Amino acid sequence: MKPKMRRNLPGPFLTWNLGEGAWRLSRSEPAPIDVFLRGADSGAAEAFRSSAVRDIDIEWRAEAAVLTMKSAEQPRTIYTQSAIVHEPLAHLYEALPLAILDAKARRFWRTVFRLIRIPGGRYLLGVLTHRSRDPR
């Protein structure tokens, strides 16, 4: 089994029936997570009727996704067409290597944008960059 094909989500989940076999399971502690289910089997309504759904194990297979969860009574298994786990990442952009402009680059682009705003500024910018009107 591939490592990303199985996921364990501990904690208490609230359940919402979205209709036509679609469900939303939400957890707010320790980190917020939403699980969206589509095409859940008929036993899902009975399994989610209990508000004490805890510790969900999701296994993605070629034909379906299998949820095994602990509830107040006993562990239950539900088959769904798809299961999507949504985890909001608070500091997502801090880890990305985004470009940072130094003082000279900021000054250059400020000048370019000022030139474009004045009447005839685009033409002047084209002359300064030796652009010709001939598209060859």
- How far, in whole angstroms, is CA 65 from its chain's centroid? 19
- What confidence category does residue 1 fall into, taking pLDDT thresholds of 50, 70 and 90? very low
Alpha-carbon span 111 to 68, nearest angstrom: 60
- What confidence category does residue 89 fall into, taking pLDDT thresholds of 50, 70 and 90? confident
pLDDT digits (tens, 9 = 90+) for 7-66: 888 888 888 888 888 989 888 877 888 899 998 887 787 777 765 788 889 999 888 899
Q: Which of helix, strand or coil describes residue 129?
A: coil
Mean per-residue pLDDT over the chain, rounded: 82
φ and ψ at residue 132, rounded to 5 degrees: -105, 160
Q: Is the pLDDT of residue 72 over 80?
A: no
List beta partners, residue 77. 68
Tokens representing residue 14 in the block: 């609230």
* Cα separation values, 15 from 25, 52, 66, 84, Å: 5, 9, 17, 15
Q: Would you tell me how many other CB atoms lie within 10 Å of the CB of residue 71? A: 18
Tokens representing residue 1 in the block: 């089994």
